[in-house]
Amino acid sequence: MTIHSITWLNGQLLPTGQALIPVNDHGLLYGDGVFEGIRFYRRQAFRLQQHLQRLQLSARAIALEIPFSIAELTAAIEQLIAAFADGDGYIRLMVTRGAGPLGLNPKSCSQPNVIAIADQLAMIDVGHQQAGARLIVSSVRRLPADGLDPRIKSLNYLNHILAKIEANHAGADEAILLNAQGRVAEGTADNVFIVRNGRLLTPPCSEGALEGITRDLVLELAQADGLETGEQPLGVYDLYAADECFLTGTGAELIPVASVDCRALPSCPGPVFLRLQQAFRRTIERECGGIL
């Protein structure tokens, strides 16, 4: 079944192909803008307020004023979900700097554009989602916080895209980016976890990871399940030596990892992953009334 993508653009609902913004929008010219990826299940947006809060903070950090309130954005997302052909899907919510002269100074950009596209999204192909993703450690480093703070979810993902291209060329599904110090930061659009000796570990966001909403939830679910968790710096060795490894993200949901740089992990999907995946699904059922 083909689901037709629809878009909410500055207050108007349109088929995505007809939702147009000017070519001199600085979102296109310079990647000047911020975004969120949001999933909905059974026509309920999952953790919507957390996404809207993060969007607001990203916008504030780049001195961009969103021309809609949180209540108005909430209503817009609800309207978009109601109009989408399927009850489950993915929304890309963006705020661009808006149209302006050909020069990077945002001062003379007239009005930010707010765009929300509803569609389907599969991060990696479905077979590998179940059998486990094959990762490489990319040679492309995550930008350091003194260049661009990783907590800002900006419209410019070029270094992540370069890492993804490297994964494609290597015949892998996903790439891990290291930080400037050579420690693990995150995947191209997901956070990374390992399990070692019964402990669930992920790098702290100060290592260069986005403050993932799914990451937070997985840490909470693990603690509620009595697992010992730790946010600590990880090296490439820790990925190779892990008992289990998995990725988390709104787009990714939870994806088990089968191998890292062709080193097969001993357990995929591992027992900790399966427990957390079940708890994750139960949370979605509870909050959205849906099942994955």
Residues that bind ligand PMP (CB under 6 A): 37, 186, 189-191, 210, 212-215, 248-250
Choice between 191 and 277, CB closer to ligand PMP: 191
- Work out how close the CB of 189 gets to ligand PMP at its nearest, in angstroms, rounded to a whole number: 4
Quote the CA–CA distance of 46 and 244 in Å, as a whole number: 26
CB of 216 to ligand PMP, least distance (A): 8
Minimum CB distance to ligand PMP smaller for 32 or for 190: 190
Taking the complex as a whole, the smallest distance from the CB of residue 38 to ligand PMP amounts, in Å, to 8
Rounded least distance, CB 9 to ligand PMP, Å: 22
Catalytic residues: 153
**Shortest Å distance, C-beta 15 to ligand PMP:** 25
Q: What is the DSSP string of the chain?
A: -PPPPEEEETTEEEEGGG----TTBHHHHH--EEEEEEEEETTEETTHHHHHHHHHHHHHHTT---SS-HHHHHHHHHHHHHHSSSSSEEEEEEEE--B--SSS-GGG----EEEEEEE---SS-HHHHHH-EEEEEEEEEPPPTTTS-TTS-BS--HHHHHHHHHHHHTT-SEEEEE-TTS-EEEESSSEEEEEETTEEEE--GGGT----HHHHHHHHHHHHTT-EEEE----HHHHHT-SEEEEEETTTEEEEEEEETTEE-S-TT-HHHHHHHHHHHHHHHHHHS---
